[in-house]
Amino acid sequence: AQSVAQPEDQVNVAEGNPLTVKCTYSVSGNPYLFWYVQYPNRGLQFLLKYITGDNLVKGSYGFEAEFNKSQTSFHLKKPSALVSDSALYFCAVRDNRGSYIPTFGRGTSLIVHP
């Protein structure tokens, strides 16, 4: 079985400050990990993914995520937040040997204050 948790429903950060959106996961094998962003009344957009290799993954719009196998985490980060980063962020996991269906977290609402 696979699962993913986003422990924070909402994250508040001031513009210009670094941001972190947390994600932890559980899989039987090795994980494929994904981050998506959803702006109001829109579908989800792919941000970045971890497959293998370098633990720091860089993605769209200046976002990056760090894979930590020992802590089973894949936190999304950005060095300097923008007001336009305010959106709903979803983490997803897939076991590379198991189900073809990814499991999504419940989402974290990021609010960046001017």
Strand 3-5 with 103-104, pairing: unpaired
Distance of alpha carbon 106 from its chain centroid, rounded?
11
**Does residue number 111 form part of the binding site for other proteins (CB under 8 A)?**
no
**Does residue number 90 form part of the binding site for other proteins (CB under 8 A)?**
yes
Q: Closest separation between CB of residue 68 and other proteins, Å? A: 18
**Does residue number 43 form part of the binding site for other proteins (CB under 8 A)?**
yes
22, 49, 75, 77: residue in contact with other proteins (rule CB under 8 A)? 49
Asked if 112 contacts 85 with a C-beta cutoff of 8 angstroms, the reply is yes
Query: Which residues is 68 bridged to in the sheet?
Result: 73
Instruction: Map residue 53 onto helix, strand or coil.
Output: coil
Contacting range for other proteins; rule: CB under 8 A; set: 20-28, 42-50, 61-69, 73-81 = 42-50
Strand 24-26 with 87-95, pairing: unpaired
Residues of this chain that bind other proteins (CB under 8 A): 9, 32, 34, 36, 41-46, 49, 51, 90, 94, 96, 100-102, 104-107
